[in-house]
Copies of this chain bind each other. A is one copy, B any other.
């Protein structure tokens, strides 16, 4: 971030009066440009005993399996974002969405959330960002080929919670990817 998006002036980093953090401040119009964490929202779509995963057609982690998810847009709710991403990536319609996991990823300034949801029907297919979309039974999950720790942790919680049919909302931090994949 080098230029002011309001006036085109040069930015410097300084701590504004009454603040305690470095911000990008315009040397010309003095606008302060804050940067804040972004929300990624997605679904864990289920069909009876099976769950739906997508194989990523895009970087990062191309070729790895993921739950449908993406950046929440202005003007929508988290649930709408999760539902929209499921439609875009898996061409799948879901219902009965329930907030389930919320992961803090402070090292990349993201909050990553998944909703439990039921597939409306079996009419799904790979969207533009997916190579393949399919249903998996628990014993078929490609644990070593999951794209992100948030996906693995959500599936892990789901299969554990499913035993007792109680699905409490979980909020946990997740360590940097490196710590998870250092052996691969």
Main secondary structure of the interface of A (DSSP, over half): loop
- Give the contact-size bracket for chain A: 35 or more
A78 x B39 contact (CB < 8 A): no
Best-surrounded residue of A18, A72, A107, A128 (most CB of chain B within 10 A): A72
B36 x A78 contact (CB < 8 A): no
A104 x B77 contact (CB < 8 A): yes
- The verdict on A99 contacting chain B, using a C-beta distance below 8 Å, is yes
**Candidates B18, B21, B33, B71; contact of A73 at CB < 8 Å:** B21
B-binding residues in A (CB < 8 A): 1-8, 11, 18, 21, 33-39, 71-80, 99, 102, 104, 106-107, 109, 111, 128, 168-169, 171, 173
